[in-house]
């Protein structure tokens, strides 16, 4: 019985691989058609070099995270409002 389960799993995986290959071929044909090329034309993608800027220092990133983090700013505003409520309650006494 376990061998049947393994065989069924293998068939399912083969089916998914076939479906994925058909989807790739369909997408390539559609792309070729959109480019106005004959269907036999192979798609060649030119490689390009991606240039990244120099990374920012960790101290600068941490400082930016502390000052620009939305969740921290919201929490600070909530704490400030609670402080105002406490001050108001003390003044009302």
Give per-residue pLDDT as tens, 76-87: 888 888 877 777
State the Rg of the chain over Cα. 30
pLDDT at residue 16 in the model:
96
Residue for token digits 């006494």?
93
User: Same structural domain for residues 29 and 65?
Assistant: no
Least Cα distance to 39 among 31, 47, 51 occurs for: 31
User: Same structural domain for residues 4 and 28?
Assistant: yes
Measure the CA–CA gap between 93 and 87, rounded to whole angstroms. 10
Count of domains in the chain? 2
Residue for token digits 């909530």?
78
Q: Each residue of 20-55: pLDDT tens digit? A: 999 999 998 899 889 888 888 888 888 889 899 998
60: containing domain: 52-93
Measure the CA–CA gap between 9 and 12, rounded to whole angstroms. 5
């Amino acid at each position: 019985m376990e061998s049947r389960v393994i065989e069924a799993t293998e068939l399912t995986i083969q089916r998914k691989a076939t479906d994925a290959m058909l989807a790739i071929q369909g997408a390539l044909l559609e792309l070729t058609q959109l480019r106005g090329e004959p269907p036999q034309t192979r798609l060649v993608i030119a490689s390009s070099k991606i240039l990244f800027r120099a990374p920012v220092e960790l101290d600068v990133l941490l400082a930016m995270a502390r000052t620009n983090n939305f969740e921290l700013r919201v929490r600070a505003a909530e704490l400030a409002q609670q402080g105002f409520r406490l001050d108001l309650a003390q003044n009302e006494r």
